[in-house]
Structures are given as C-alpha cells and as structure tokens.
Amino acid sequence: MSNKEYMKEYRKKNKEHIRKVSQKRYLRNRERIIKQVKKWHKNHPEKVKERNDKRYAENKQAMKVRALTRYYFKLEGHNCEFCLGKAEQHHHNTEPIEFDKFNYTCKDCHREIPGRLLVRSKTSEKIPNGK
C-alpha cells in the first residue's frame, strides 16, 4: 500500500479525531491566521475579485432558484422536517436544484446538513475563541 493510499484510508477511519485536532490547532493560531488572510486579501485584490466573480457566476443559477423558493413558499406555519421544531428561517434546496424541491428546516438542522448549498457564516462567528 502506497503512502497516498494509506493516508486516504487513515483520513476515512479517523475523520472525527482529525477534525478535533484541526479545530484545536486553528484556535491556537486563530489571530495569526486571520491577520495573514487579511494581509493576503489586501495585497492581492485582483485575485480576490477574480475568485469572487467566479463564485458568483457558479452560484448565480442557485441564487435565482433560492429566491424563487423564498418567494413562493413562505416559512410561516411550517415545522422543521428533521426535528419537527419551528422552521423560521430556512429552506434547504435539494439536488438537482429546483425551486419546488426543498425541505423546511430550522437553523440548527440546516447547519448540520452535509454539502448544503447556502453560504456558510463567517468562521469568527462559528468558532468561539478557545485560548
């Protein structure tokens, strides 16, 4: 077994442990990482614009579908289809992306859906400062 194959298997089997270790490492170096990212963004505005334009072009159709879903299917009076709590803020569009194919979800359940289509919130809001 090659080293590449071994690492692939290791990552599959130890996914949760790797995630915890990565999060701890991030929290230890959080301030330094944030400064580096901001500095890079400031020094490379053309690359940032190019990346943002590419993401916008890729997600343009999905954004239109989400807007139609929000317009035609209101959240009032619906419960989350996963935990049966109140679905106050979120629709989860399923693949293939069509405006009438979705689940009503609460905020917590929507965050737990793997591969979800919505843009994630800022890292600084999701991970508490763990120094």
Calculate mean pLDDT across residues 89-110: 71
What would the two tokens of residue 38 be? 């901001």
> If pLDDT is split at 50, 70 and 90, which confidence band does 42 have?
very high
Which conformational region is residue 84 in: left (phi greater than 0), alpha (psi within -120 to 50 degrees), or beta? left
Provide the 3-class DSSP secondary structure of residue 91: strand
Calculate mean pLDDT across residues 70-85: 75
Strand ranges, E, within 29-93: 90-93
Name the average pLDDT for the chain: 76
